[in-house]
Structures are given as structure tokens and as C-alpha cells.
Amino acid sequence: MKNLRLKIIIATGILAVLGVSTILIFQSSLLNIDKFTVEGNRHTPSEHVIAISGLRKGDKLFPLNFGAAENSIERLPWVKNASIGRAINGTITFSIEERTPRAVAFSRQGYVLLDGEGRVLEIIGANENCIQYSVQYSTELSEITCIANLIVPSAPGSYIRKSNLPFVDAATLIHSIKKCLQPETAVGCPENSTARLNSYVRQIVMNQTGERAISIQLKGGGWLLLGNPAENLEGKLERAFQILTGDSDSIRALCGNAFLDLSSNTNSVPLTPDVTC
């Protein structure tokens, strides 16, 4: 019986020591935030991520609920998703997934980049037209479409009106044809289409005015007119793709001010005389 009591006393003492030690450790500076690292951010400054998180050096690593901090970071214009991790050495790591620009449109403060959800990512300039900006900001990973005459909010992080979302949706769909411009993304494209498209396509443009037409401008100056994006855009893009990967003599004929109307379901014919490049 005495042995049992002794064991209980010893066990209780050990638990007490462990409890006190744990409290002392958690209250000591050993488990304070000592360092921040930010990963995955190309357009969002690291200091902005750290500042908006609300976390500070010297804060306790445990207990910390990162949900509110992650939500705050995702309010930054370029940030799509944010997650936060911690290490026992006092390092907090912010992992950022940024949004992909899909379109350029005009705001009263200047031209802005939009992502596929219609979110304003940043103001990029005010002196040039959106075609030039869409070419400037397009990369091998993100082909950006100009949406002419579409006036959108200028505040980064805001969203365009839902009534204008079909134009951003169309800009995202257009990306499917432009992927054939790069060999590394041309899976499923017709053989040799990459070189041909790269030789002939200058820009794909969307215009909200009039019939809200989508057009493909060729490097020779001619145009393929696709019409309203709400009317069988996939089918019209397929027809345009067939033309662009077809007879090179036909493509060269679309130079200068020549254009080919693909906006209806009827057989397309040039609406202006052919011009030889």
C-alpha cells in the first residue's frame, strides 16, 4: 500500500514538473516568432504579405490561429490563396498562390490587368492602348487578351460587374487557342501548328462595343472576325484555328486592311479585296 502511495506521489510530482516546464517553455522566448519567409510571390511584395497578416516578431508560435491572417493576405489584389506554416525554430512561412492575368481593360485611372474572375490585379499604365499592353504583359505562361472599350473599376482587388464577366470568360477561352503558340503547351494541337500560328498571329482582341466582337489580328495587318463571344465562340475559334493552320497562301492574303468574317455560321468570305503581303 505504501509502495502504491509512493508511486502515486512520484507520478504526480513528475506530471507537475512536466506541466510547469511546459508552461515555462511556452511562456519563454524560445517559441516566439523570430523570422518570416514568403514563397510563391512574384507580384506581391513580401513586406505587404507580412504586414497585412498581423503577425509580428516576438509573438508566440503557440497557440496561433492562422485563419484570420490567411484571409487578410487573400485580400491583396494578386493573391488567390495563402497558407501559413510554422517551424519550431521560430520561422513563419507564408505560401502564396498568385492569380493569373487574363485580360487588359480600361479604367478611369488607366489600363488594368484582370484575372479570369474579373478581379483587378493592378493599374499598368495610361498612355498606350490595350493591345500594346496585352502584348507587353503576355508571357509564355499567360496570354493576355485586350478587351477594348470595356470600362472597369480601377481599385486593385475590386471586381468588375457581373454583366461584364462573359468578356473575361471569353478572354480565358481564347487562351486555349493561344496555347498553341508555345511548343511546351501545344499538346493536342495539329502538327506544325505552333510555327504557323507564331508566324501569323499578332494579337487576339475583344471589343465590347457594337456587336462585342472578338477579332484575331494577323501580323500582316489583316483580321479574322469572330463576332459575339456569347454565340458559339468555341466553334468559331475552331474554324479560325483551321484557317491559321491551313494554307499559308490564304493567310498571307489577309494583309493590310483585309478581313475574314467568321462571326456567322455561313461560309466565311473576305469582305475586302485580298492584299498580297
Longest dimension (CA), the chain: 111
Q: In angstroms, rounded to a whole number, what is the distance separating the alpha carbons of residues 80 and 76?
A: 8
Fold topology of 2-98: Ubiquitin-like (UB roll) (3.10.20)
Query: Quick one: which of 109, 205, 116 has its CA closest to 151?
Result: 109
More confident position, 181 or 259: 259
pLDDT(138) > 50: yes
Which band of pLDDT confidence, cut at 50, 70 and 90, is reported for residue 199? Answer: low
Q: What is the pLDDT of residue 4?
A: 56
Mean pLDDT of 58-87: 88
More confident position, 118 or 255: 118
Mean pLDDT of the chain: 75
Query: Quick one: which of 239, 243, 167 has its CA closest to 201?
Result: 243
More confident position, 54 or 179: 54
SS3 98: strand
More confident position, 63 or 115: 115
pLDDT(242) > 80: no
More confident position, 104 or 138: 104
| 252 in Cβ contact with 270 (< 8 Å) | no
Q: What is the pLDDT of residue 249?
A: 66
| Strands in 87-213 per DSSP E | 91-98, 101-107, 110-115, 120-125, 145-151, 201-207
Encode pLDDT of 205-241 as tens digits: 777 655 557 777 777 777 778 777 667 776 776 777 6
| 143 in Cβ contact with 130 (< 8 Å) | no
Q: Return the domain boundaries, the chain.
A: 2-98, 101-261
Q: What is the pLDDT of residue 175?
A: 62
Mean pLDDT of 137-160: 84
Least confident range of 18-27, 43-52, 127-136? 18-27
Encode pLDDT of 81-107 as tens digits: 999 998 888 899 999 999 999 889 989
Mean pLDDT of 130-146: 79
pLDDT(126) > 90: no
Which band of pLDDT confidence, cut at 50, 70 and 90, is reported for residue 198? Answer: low
Provide CB contacts within 8 A for 9, sequence distance 6+: none
Q: What is the pLDDT of residue 3?
A: 59
